[in-house]
Structure 1
Amino acid sequence: MRNRTILIVDDEPRSREGMKKILGVWAAGKYEILTASHAAAALEILESTPVELMITDIRMPEVSGLMLVSQMKQRNIERQPSVILISGHAQFEYAQQAIHLSVVDYLLKPVSREKLIASVENALKEGEEREHIVSMRKIADPQLMAVKTEEAAYSDPVRQAMDYVELHLEEAVSLQDVAAEVHLNASYLSSLFKEQCQMNFSEYVARRKLQKAKELLLKTNLPIQEIASRTGYQTVKYFNKLFKEYEGMSPGRYRSMRNGMEAHVQ
């Protein structure tokens, strides 16, 4: 796997190399630290390399750090990095523009090692959270989301049934098991669930398990057979069949497409 990348943009060599040295020691090989001496060079890097975090000085010749951030957001850059702005001047208008551009932090020179590292760690954490949200939106099941939105209005037995499913995603879940758990007749619970959730209980279980499977497909390198097992399916053949029925493709193909890989996984 590639190292994640932090980009430092500063026209002052001493400042630029100083930050690179501090972050190089801190990163201990976990991040590649790239540098650029002006905005044009920074944009070239951003367009060719996925960057998690950009640290840029505000006052640079020709194109300022603020203008760089603005241009970056206007361009079709696949990954928009988190941004930390650095300035030698505590000007209110800079801070205002930084907020408008959704900059994570605004630091004043000279920046101490401790402040720089703390700011970088915070910015990377925010970036990971944002990436997680984007990832979840990409794989979200609209029908599950609709059910979740209305959950507060459901009756106690239906909410309890949904909670039971959530706690037993790694097992085979039957209507009879859930009905016994909520102390209702299975037939009655089935009717109640369909009436309130607008889908059969079995469909809800399948969709929720497949949602979990999609998360595992994208976030791990687990074999398909292991993912099938972790979502309560005893045979990978049935898991593949169900996945294709709901997603229109095999689990391997889904992983390949979502991860931007060309190799076709059988």
Structure 2
Amino acid sequence: MRSRTILIVDDEPRSREGMKKILGVWAAGQYEILTASNAMAAMQILEEIPVELIITDIRMPEISGLALVSQLREKKIQRQPSVILISGHAQFEYAQQAIHLSVMDYLLKPASREKLIASVESALKAGEEREHIVFMRKMTDPQLMAIRDEEAALSDPVRQAMHYVETHIEEAVSLQEVAAHVHLNGSYFSALFKEQCQITFSEYVARRKLQKAKELLLKTNLPIAEIASRTGYQAVKYFNKLFKEYEGMSPGRYRSMRDGTEAHIQ
């Protein structure tokens, strides 16, 4: 998993090192505190290391803090860091631009230790909440959610079939097997399931298994072959093909999204 990093960008050495010292004591090793003396140096760090939070001065030579944040937002990276702007001047146009760039806070220099720490804690918490929302969206299958929302209106055989799939997620599940379990003819069960769920039973099984696979890819470091096995696919090649068909990418690339990077895997 990636390290947790806070980046301070300020061309004034005294201010930069002062904030680093305060946050170093506060972080107690939970965050690495990096510094940059200008926007160019900051961009170089940001291209190499995922950063949770940027604290940047607005007025710096050549490239301002606002321009730095604007360039960062344009990059549309998977995980955008939270941003706190600092300035020695309370200018309204700065605050306006900060709002436009979704900046978490705007502090005036010299910020007290208490204000700096409170602002950092608030920005990090907001960033974690944003990451959680993104994380949940990655795992969610809209069609499965739609079926779940209407579960109360489904017939008992269909609900029983869904429960059977849930409890046999690690096995290969066939339509005939489930139809027999709910005491229905295979053809009748197939038609009933499609009518009530708007997708075929085989598609439901594939989507539910891939949903489980996505959870394992994002929450664990299990090998892809093991994840395939745990979702009832003994042939990894077939699992990869099915995953790409539904998700538009390989399991390896999907997992790399967890860290905000695209790895050349699989």
Relative to the length of structure 2, the TM-score reads: 0.72
* Residues 169/245 of structure 1: CA separation in 2 closer, same or farther (3 Å cut): same
Secondary structure in structure 2 of the residue aligned to 1:34: strand
Aligned residues of 1:169 and 1:209 also touching (Cα < 8 A):
no
Structure 1 alignment gaps of length 5 or more = none
2:248 equivalent to 1:243: no
Mapped partners of 1:118, 1:168: distance in 2: 46
Mapped partners of 2:23, 2:153: distance in 1: 52
Aligned residues of 1:57 and 1:87 also touching (Cα < 8 A):
yes
Which residue of structure 2 lines up, in the alignment, with residue 109 of structure 1? 109
Mapped partners of 1:98, 1:255: distance in 2: 37
2:154 equivalent to 1:148: no
Which residue of structure 2 lines up, in the alignment, with residue 121 of structure 1? 121
2:60 equivalent to 1:60: yes
Structure 1 runs of 4+ aligned residues shifted over 6 Å read 173-181
Aligned residues of 2:95 and 2:106 also touching (Cα < 8 A):
yes
Aligned residues: 253
Letter in 1 for 2:125: K
Which residue of structure 2 lines up, in the alignment, with residue 86 of structure 1? 86
Relative to the length of structure 1, the TM-score reads: 0.72
Which residue of structure 2 lines up, in the alignment, with residue 218 of structure 1? 218
After TM superposition, the structure 1 = structure 2 runs for residues 25-40 of structure 1, keeping only pairs within 5 Å, are 25-40=25-40
Which residue of structure 1 lines up, in the alignment, with residue 154 of structure 2? 157
Deviations 1:185-235 (A, max 9, x none): 57666433212333223431331222221231233213457645765x4xx
203-212 or 169-178: which moved more? Answer: 169-178
Per-residue deviation, 1:78: 6.5
Per-residue deviation, 1:20: 0.7
* Residues 228/122 of structure 1: CA separation in 2 closer, same or farther (3 Å cut): farther
Mapped partners of 2:224, 2:43: distance in 1: 39
Per-residue deviation, 1:83: 0.9
Aligned residues of 1:165 and 1:205 also touching (Cα < 8 A):
no
Aligned residues of 1:194 and 1:201 also touching (Cα < 8 A):
yes
Aligned residues of 2:84 and 2:105 also touching (Cα < 8 A):
yes
Per-residue deviation, 1:9: 0.8
Structure 2 alignment gaps of length 5 or more = 257-261
Aligned residues of 1:9 and 1:55 also touching (Cα < 8 A):
yes
Letter in 2 for 1:209: K
Mapped partners of 2:240, 2:39: distance in 1: 46
Q: Which of the pair has the greater relative contact order for Cα pairs under 8 Å at 6+ separation?
A: 2
